[in-house]
Structure 1
């Protein structure tokens, strides 16, 4: 399995299992099955309401905890220092672990004290509650403030990224500052596989359209993907995307697709151009 490493201590498999919106026993079964198939990167969040289910799968699995990269996130309404600390404590208890491998601020807050939130995030890393820290869904301007003004030792940024949405400025910045970029919704919620260009490339190589979409991301330096998959067939297919070989003609066709289709932008989302 390919891995991403950073100078701030991140060591993360390039393919992970996204768990939203799975919950309960279905989530536990999917996570345990994924671990049996070779996944070593599981992504969850407080807001997904499935950390306890993920924790149950971790305990039931024969894979040692130290071999599993585990990411969780704190929701945007719990970014005050005491609330953030409590959120992580709740997550650790639900997951049944003393430390997560990566702890993200899930979304920027509203009318929040950015400096105090980042200070708390860094402190949780220094205290050993999180091996690495990062942010998710931050626009580039806000990420610049966190890195350049506040000096936070971030290891990763998690954003929506797929063949129908460009993240070039964000990816360029992440590379400049040694941040891993984790692409969520890497299959564009099914829309990627519906593109005729993706289907034709898949037919050319005898693979699935979803595998083409994932490999386009995985071929980019510093990018990891966390597609959600519950069935054995889909989990195996996503892992096998690593074996797909795209050529320059394929990449040129994918480059020609419209790259302005943002699918995740709730009412509390930031100004993406800020």
Structure 2
């Protein structure tokens, strides 16, 4: 699956016009989830946008309490109804907890793909061991693994695994909920490029092999700034400094 280097994370977005404006600005990868309770908002925003449906990659996620086989199908159909779509390009197992049983859950995702309700299967918040297990059970390829990833939690092991396995690592919370603004190395790199720590963080992620990112933004200035980070070119020294930041902060368990 070809995903743009910077997409839109929609958690917390409650206005369809934000989605529409993002699409108008050039966002083509929209990421939502059942637990965000805004699939209808995302769907309304897509419906209002003047863009062909086949230009968009829409992703949603089945929450942990709905991972029994019958619930996977039922809640996916409910997600499609809320989104106003016949299918989505990407459906994730949101977290491998609660009702997740790989031997029962994953074949339900294969069935949805065979039925044409989803194009591809993804997983989120998996360990390398869980990824390996899932790959042995699924008939479908895992095309994306979504995890927390930012300059303060760099996920080297999962990035390397993504390169070797041939899937994309989709980095959520790329700005570490604003913590990147307080990192001296990022501030200095930003000053060097007449940019911002946020843009540096996004450019670093977007420039990594087999990695894309989905920052969340609501207002137009931030939507534009995040998308513009694609144009920021970090040099080898910048990348090395980011990789060597002596600080680790994981936001989500």
Task: Give the TM-score normalised by the residue count of structure 1.
Answer: 0.89
Deviation at 1:253, TM superposition (A): 1.5
Deviation at 1:150, TM superposition (A): 4.9
3-state DSSP of counterpart to 2:208 = coil
Residue 47 in structure 1 maps to residue 35 in structure 2: yes
Task: For 1:244-259, list aligned pairs within 5 A.
Answer: 244-258=232-246
User: How far apart in 2 are the matches of 1:46 and 1:75?
Assistant: 6
Give the match for residue 158 of structure 1. Answer: 146
Give the match for residue 121 of structure 1. Answer: 109
Deviation at 1:208, TM superposition (A): 1.5
Task: For 1:156-235, list aligned pairs within 5 A.
Answer: 156-235=144-223
Which of 221, 231, 240 aligns to 2:228? It is 240
Q: CA, structure 1 residues 79+259, in 2 after alignment: closer, same or farther (shift >3 Å)? A: farther
C-alpha contact (below 8 Å) 1:13/1:69 kept by paired residues: no
Residue 88 in structure 1 maps to residue 97 in structure 2: no
Give the match for residue 5 of structure 2. Answer: 14
Give the match for residue 270 of structure 1. Answer: none
Which of 66, 71, 96 aligns to 2:59? It is 71
Give the match for residue 268 of structure 1. Answer: none
Query: What RMSD, in angstroms, separates the aligned Cα atoms of the two structures?
Result: 1.3
Q: CA, structure 1 residues 177+226, in 2 after alignment: closer, same or farther (shift >3 Å)? A: same
3-state DSSP of counterpart to 1:134 = strand
User: How far apart in 2 are the matches of 1:160 and 1:19?
Assistant: 15
Spell out, residue by residue over 1:205-230, the C-alpha distance to the aligned partner (whole angstroms, 9 max, x if none): 11111000011111111111000001
Residue 32 in structure 1 maps to residue 20 in structure 2: yes
Deviation at 1:151, TM superposition (A): 5.3
User: How far apart in 1 are the matches of 2:147 and 2:139?
Assistant: 21
Structure 2: gaps (5+ residues): none
Give the match for residue 58 of structure 1. Answer: 46
User: How far apart in 2 are the matches of 1:88 and 1:150?
Assistant: 18
Corresponding pairs, count: 253
